[in-house]
């Protein structure tokens, strides 16, 4: 690694309801010149923009809204991107024994209890030729996993373009790649301007969930925060939950399992080679617990 | 995947955190760069516009953004495309961003130019210092421009959404007729 010859381009765009930052590195005799990084980053942003349009729960014209409206009426063909994400979500739903559940979109819409008769991921059947069918009407909200998936897809595109190293960070869910370990920082619960150095990560992802940027009762933050799938109530935990894993989509989803289970040791984490961390906030003191 | 936990943070199974650093700032790209990204073949000329009180009030009403709009960072090319630089201020952060607007009145692209967690920084820093006994706090507080990879709860980009709404309203009432 030629430390002194590396050049970096960082760009940031508002996407997925947050700020998406893409960092790309190259070095002087690498096949990807510095001027080409702009094009590579643009391709990665385009893929995130595409997923943003497909998976947006609040856009009635998105593919996800289409699925929510029609999947219970008969077999429905879906894109390979949505199918891949739903299969991952379905798998984590099973392995987490229902703790991770995208079938709680109605909570984000603040519907009355009488209106909460929607199915969840367990009601979704995957049929041949990219078709799905739902046993009950669905109100799937993929915001608990979509950012991580979008990060993985963007990193794949950067790697396919030949970018040597970099990072894609979608509002705190990030993945680093390349030949050198990179420092990872974490925002502290309720002191979100303050950062702590977590460690160094190479070719891996980190995702975090906490309520320090949103209030469960505020309509301004409609849909943000973690909702318990059984109680269908937003979590009011003051703590911060982080997962380090090879894939960002897994890290993103498993933060919800960690936050709801409050268990550092859970079979789900081992399955995805995930390392969980809880940062506790209690009466102005902070402590952490990690699972290895 | 290779993961090396920080030795500062992970001394024991459950410990009080020490070694925290404070707010950061990032400059992503320059105005010149964003012009080349959004309109690669255009030559832009600075066209500042004076924002009177009535227009300022109108912009605030439409967008809900209280921070005053500044009209000195507006560029126009010969084809009638515009590049507008604006700032939005959140609880602790200031974000400078660019909106490219085509001569048909559509958004060509939105790009973040600069992010600073400096708003209210001094107060927050003082509160932060008071909470930690034994923390090494001898270093002068300053914005850290080197911190790259930050995980944490999702920061909403709603401020930008409101800001873009303001910029597009400004285009409709003040720039569109200039074409």
In terms of pLDDT, which residue wins out, A279 or A53?
A53
Name residues whose C-beta falls within 8 Å of residue B102's C-beta, 6 or more positions apart in sequence.
Answer: B81, B108
In this prediction, residues B9-23 reach a mean pLDDT of 47
Q: Are B100 and B39 in contact (CB under 8 A)?
A: yes
pLDDT of residue B148: 74
A71-113 pLDDT, tens digit each: 999 999 999 999 999 999 999 999 998 889 887 655 555 555 5
The distance of Cα A104 from the centroid of its chain, to the nearest Å, equals 16
A10-49 pLDDT, tens digit each: 999 999 999 999 999 988 788 888 888 999 999 999 999 9
Minimum mean pLDDT among A3-17, A245-259, B136-150: which range?
B136-150
Compute the distance between CA of residue B3 and CA of residue B106 in angstroms, rounded to an integer.
Answer: 45
Interface touch B15/A197, C-beta < 8 Å: no
Interface touch B10/A183, C-beta < 8 Å: no
Most confident of the ranges A58-72, B10-24, B141-155: A58-72
pLDDT of residue B122: 47
pLDDT of residue A150: 98
Residue showing tokens 């460690």:
A199
pLDDT of residue A279: 83
- Tell me the backbone φ, ψ of residue B51, rounded to 5 degrees: -100, 110
Cα dist. B101→A53, A122, B104, B176 in Å? 20, 45, 8, 10
Count CB-CB contacts under 10 A for residue B172.
Answer: 12
Count CB-CB contacts under 10 A for residue A200.
Answer: 17
Compute the distance between CA of residue B28 and CA of residue B75 in angstroms, rounded to an integer.
Answer: 19
Minimum mean pLDDT among A259-268, B5-14, B165-174: which range?
B5-14
Select from B9, B22, B152 the Cβ nearest to the Cβ of A197.
B9
The pTM of the full predicted model, rounded to 2 decimals, is: 0.85
Interface touch A194/B155, C-beta < 8 Å: no
pLDDT of residue B158: 85
Task: Tell me: pLDDT of B151 over 90.
Answer: no
Name residues whose C-beta falls within 8 Å of residue B164's C-beta, 6 or more positions apart in sequence.
Answer: B99, B107, B110
In terms of pLDDT, which residue wins out, A103 or B115?
B115
H or E stretch at A83:
helix A80-95
pLDDT of residue B24: 72
pLDDT of residue B23: 61
A271-292 pLDDT, tens digit each: 999 999 888 766 545 556 666 5
Select from B37, B121, B153 the Cβ nearest to the Cβ of A172.
B153
- Tell me the backbone φ, ψ of residue A109, rounded to 5 degrees: -85, -5
Residue A35, helix vs strand vs coil: helix
Q: Which residues of A touch B16 (CB under 8 A)?
A: 285-287
- Could you write out the three-class secondary structure of A270-284? HHCCCEEEEEEEECC
Cα dist. A192→A189, A288, B20 in Å? 6, 16, 11
Task: Tell me: pLDDT of B106 over 90.
Answer: yes
Minimum mean pLDDT among A214-223, A227-236, B109-118: which range?
A214-223
Compute the distance between CA of residue A190 and CA of residue A193 in angstroms, rounded to an integer.
Answer: 9
Interface touch A188/B20, C-beta < 8 Å: yes
pLDDT of residue A188: 77
> Does B140 contact A at CB distance below 8 Å?
no
Cα dist. B48→B82, B85, B114, B131 in Å? 11, 11, 21, 46
Q: Nearest C-alpha of chain A: how many angstroms from B42?
A: 17
Helix axis angle for A34-55 and A63-70, nearest 10°, is 20
Compute the distance between CA of residue A195 and CA of residue A279 in angstroms, rounded to an integer.
Answer: 12
The upper half-sphere exposure of residue A141, i.e. CA atoms within 13 Å in the direction of its Cβ, equals 19
Q: Are A44 and A37 in contact (CB under 8 A)?
A: no
Interface touch B21/A182, C-beta < 8 Å: no
pLDDT of residue B137: 34
pLDDT of residue A135: 92
In terms of pLDDT, which residue wins out, A102 or B124?
A102
Name residues whose C-beta falls within 8 Å of residue B152's C-beta, 6 or more positions apart in sequence.
Answer: A172, A186, A187, A192, A208, A210, A212, A240
Closest residue by Cα to residue A82 from A12, A135, A131: A131
Select from A10, A191, A199 the Cβ nearest to the Cβ of B28.
A10
Cα dist. B173→A280, B67, B73, B110, B168 in Å? 50, 19, 17, 20, 9
**Angle (CA) B55 B110 B86, round 5°:** 35
Compute the distance between CA of residue A65 and CA of residue B64 in angstroms, rounded to an integer.
Answer: 28
Compute the distance between CA of residue A285 and CA of residue A197 in angstroms, rounded to an integer.
Answer: 17
Question: Which of the four pLDDT bands, split at 50, 70 and 90, describes residue B48?
Answer: very high
A103-147 pLDDT, tens digit each: 765 555 555 555 557 888 889 999 999 999 999 999 899 988 999
Chain pair A-B, CB pairs under 8 angstroms: 206
H or E stretch at A112:
none
Which string of b and e fits A84-95 if b means at least 16 CB within 10 Å?
A: ebbebbbbbbeb
**Taking chain B, what is the end-to-end CA distance rounded to the nearest angstrom?**
54
């Amino acid at each position: 690694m030629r430390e002194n010859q590396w050049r970096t381009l960082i760009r940031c765009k508002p996407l997925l309801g947050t700020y998406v930052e893409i960092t790309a590195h190259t070095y002087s005799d690498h096949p990807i010149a510095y001027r080409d990084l702009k094009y590579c980053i643009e391709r990665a942003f385009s893929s995130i923009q595409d997923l943003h349009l497909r998976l947006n729960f609040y856009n009635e014209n998105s593919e996800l809204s289409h699925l929510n409206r029609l999947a219970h009426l008969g077999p429905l063909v879906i894109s390979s991107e949505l199918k891949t994400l739903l299969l991952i979500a379905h798998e984590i739903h099973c392995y987490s024994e229902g703790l991770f559940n995208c079938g709680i979109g109605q909570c984000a819409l603040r519907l009355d209890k009488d209106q909460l008769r929607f199915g969840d991921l367990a009601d979704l059947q995957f049929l041949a030729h990219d078709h799905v069918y739902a046993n009950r009407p669905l109100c799937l909200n993929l915001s608990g996993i979509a950012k991580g998936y979008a990060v993985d897809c963007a990193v794949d595109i950067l790697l396919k373009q030949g970018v040597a190293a970099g990072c894609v960070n979608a509002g705190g869910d990030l993945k680093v790649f390349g030949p050198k370990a990179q420092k990872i920082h974490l925002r502290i619960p309720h002191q979100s301007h303050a950062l702590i150095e977590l460690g160094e990560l190479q070719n891996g992802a980190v995702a975090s969930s906490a309520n320090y940027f949103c209030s469960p009762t505020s309509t301004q933050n409609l849909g943000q925060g973690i909702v318990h799938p059984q109680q269908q109530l937003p979590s009011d935990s003051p703590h911060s939950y982080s997962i380090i894993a090879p894939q960002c989509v897994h890290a993103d989803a498993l933060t919800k399992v960690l936050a709801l289970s409050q268990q550092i040791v859970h079979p789900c984490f081992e399955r995805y080679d995930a390392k969980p961390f809880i940062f506790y906030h209690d009466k102005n003191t902070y402590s952490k617990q990690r699972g290895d | 995947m290779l993961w090396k936990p920080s030795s500062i943070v992970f001394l024991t199974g459950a410990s009080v955190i020490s070694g925290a650093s404070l707010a950061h700032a990032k400059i992503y790209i320059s105005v010149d760069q964003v012009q080349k990204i959004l309109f690669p073949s255009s030559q832009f000329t600075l066209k500042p516009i004076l924002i009177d009180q009535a227009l300022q009030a109108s912009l605030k009403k439409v967008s809900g953004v209280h921070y005053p709009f500044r009209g000195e960072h507006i560029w126009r090319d010969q084809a009638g495309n515009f590049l507008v630089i604006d700032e939005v201020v959140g609880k602790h952060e200031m974000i400078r961003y660019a909106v490219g607007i085509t001569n048909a009145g559509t958004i060509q692209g939105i790009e973040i130019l600069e992010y600073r967690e400096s708003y209210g920084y001094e107060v927050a820093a003082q509160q932060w210092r008071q909470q930690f006994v034994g923390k090494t706090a001898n270093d002068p507080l300053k914005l850290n421009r080197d911190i790259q990879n930050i995980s944490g709860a999702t920061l909403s980009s709603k401020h930008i959404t409101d800001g873009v709404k303001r910029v597009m309203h400004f285009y409709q009432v003040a720039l569109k007729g200039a074409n």
